[in-house]
Amino acid sequence: MGMIVNRYTEAGWFCRLLTDHGFPTMMAGGCVRDRLFGKEPKDYDLATAALPREAMRLFRKQGYKVVPTGLKHGTISVVSKLQTIEVTTLRTDAACDGRHAEVVFSTDFREDARRRDFTINALFEDSEGRVHDHVGGVDDLHHRALRFVGDPAARIREDYLRILRYFRFLSRYGWEPRPEQLAAIQANLDGLSQLSVERVQSEMDQILASPHVTRILPMLYDIGLTGVLFPFVRADALPGLTAHLLELDSADLRWFSFFYWGAGRMTNQQVKTTMDYMRFTRKRNRMMLGLNRFLNLPQDDIERLFIALQWYEQDLLPPAQLKHYLETCTRHHPGTGFQDHLIQLLDGMARGKPFETPREALMALAPAVRGESLRVAKIYWYLGLCRDSNEVSRVLAQAETYRTKLQSGAPEPLS
């Protein structure tokens, strides 16, 4: 074994190990593309002429942990101290139905390249650092051209997810689409309905988070893609929506904004229907339904204060994150506003001065009003309008009066 100083060196050594044992092997796909871009690859993948069990046996003999992550498709994972490398047997597609492919193992790198999605993802690099390009990917990288390998329509019909992947890569690099590629995509948009929502969600996660989303979402609308997958999106909502997405660092809030502002506001039932279709996590569903109800309340509704308090106590939406989100809403969506006391409340909760319940004063109240009275007292506490347990007890004892002051927008310090 030569000197292994980094992940790239180790990937090259793995290639030599397999090649020296009669199984030609090269680095493949994204890691080669990224290196040509001058970027550090997220991970290294290898393509090999070895069958999965042959590769497993060889790496285990060398003392590596090997995980059979996808034997059906020819993939194993080799775990070292530096990284986990996927090693996949060269393949050709025997049959494709638009979602899944039946593969046949091969020993031909050229055939393997021809079954890949885009030319820039069909590059190989051997252990000596030589790049092997069978489909023109290097030239496309140089000219900032994203092209399907071979016939675009044929590649798309093999797996309709490649439509979304096309726009995901455009959004990553900020490239312009090629007219002939878009034409093939438009002719095959109906195939998107075959995809699982989990696969759609994974690609859209990255598109919505892209710094080029202001270009990509209108493009998806113009070609009719959103009409197939997300028919609620309105053209007149796109400018505010895309500018808003650029300021968000939460995937949950990006998805909510895509729904709510992309539709020019949604009812609770509309959001629930769309969420059920997307099969989001339970926590994301709770946040989205709650935020939808929150935004649909009148701007000066005291209930907004109580919802923000509940999210804080349940650790569902941190106060600083909610404040940032509300500020971005007012910047990008005309007519959106929030009462000053809501922002002050979020600041107070973010500072985290703990609230201590005066239990004697609370237990003196009738059970039916304890919960509501305690909420009012907590609001006053986090607003900084009461400063000690005695003042909290006063709010508890006269909670209805203080609630009315909150509702009127005129609360004041107790002392």
**Segment 205-236, tens digit of pLDDT:** 999 999 999 999 999 999 999 999 999 999 99
Average pLDDT over residues 134-158: 96
**Res 176: pLDDT:** 96
Measure the CA–CA gap between 55 and 61, rounded to whole angstroms: 10
**Res 5: pLDDT:** 76
172 within 8 A of 39, measured Cβ to Cβ: no
**Residue 226 located in a structural domain:** yes
Structural domain that includes position 102: 1-143
Residues 158 and 138 in one domain: no
Average pLDDT over residues 393-401: 93
Is the confidence at residue 41, as pLDDT, over 90? yes
**Res 202: pLDDT:** 94
Tally of domains within the chain: 4
Average pLDDT over residues 340-369: 92
The fraction of the chain above a pLDDT of 70, given in percent, is 96
| Residue among 250, 240, 253 nearest 213 (CA) | 240
Residues 165 and 138 in one domain: no
CATH code of the domain containing 185 = 1.10.3090.10
The fraction of the chain above a pLDDT of 90, given in percent, is 80
Least confident of 23-32, 233-242, 264-273: 264-273
| Residue among 215, 227, 123 nearest 167 (CA) | 215
73 within 8 A of 32, measured Cβ to Cβ: no
**Res 413: pLDDT:** 84
Measure the CA–CA gap between 44 and 31, rounded to whole angstroms: 5
- What 54-58 contacts at long range (C-beta under 8 Å, 24+ apart), as own/partner pairs, is 54/23, 55/18, 55/23, 55/87, 55/89, 58/17, 58/18, 58/21, 58/23
Answer with the one of 205, 231, 257 that is the final residue of a domain: 231
Average pLDDT over residues 257-270: 91
Average pLDDT over residues 266-289: 87
**Res 99: pLDDT:** 56
**Residue 65 located in a structural domain:** yes
Find the length of the chain.
Answer: 415
Residues 1 and 137 in one domain: yes
**Residue 345 located in a structural domain:** no
Is the confidence at residue 274, as pLDDT, over 90? no
Q: How does residue 268 score in pLDDT terms, banded at 50, 70 and 90?
A: confident
Collapsing DSSP states into helix, strand and coil, what is residue 95? strand
Is the confidence at residue 95, as pLDDT, over 70? no
**Res 3: pLDDT:** 64
Q: How does residue 250 score in pLDDT terms, banded at 50, 70 and 90?
A: very high
Q: How does residue 2 score in pLDDT terms, banded at 50, 70 and 90?
A: low
Average pLDDT over residues 87-109: 76
Residues 333 and 214 in one domain: no
325 within 8 A of 288, measured Cβ to Cβ: no
**Res 263: pLDDT:** 93
Q: For 121, list phi and psi in degrees, rounded to 5.
A: -100, 5
Measure the CA–CA gap between 29 and 14, rounded to whole angstroms: 16
Residues 11 and 131 in one domain: yes
Is the confidence at residue 184, as pLDDT, over 80? yes
Residues 193 and 243 in one domain: no
Average pLDDT over residues 155-173: 96
Measure the CA–CA gap between 293 and 93, rounded to whole angstroms: 48
**Res 101: pLDDT:** 59
Residues 131 and 182 in one domain: no
**Res 408: pLDDT:** 84
| Residue among 358, 359, 342, 339 nearest 350 (CA) | 342
Beta-bridge partner residues of 102: 95
Q: For 69, list phi and psi in degrees, rounded to 5.
A: -70, -30
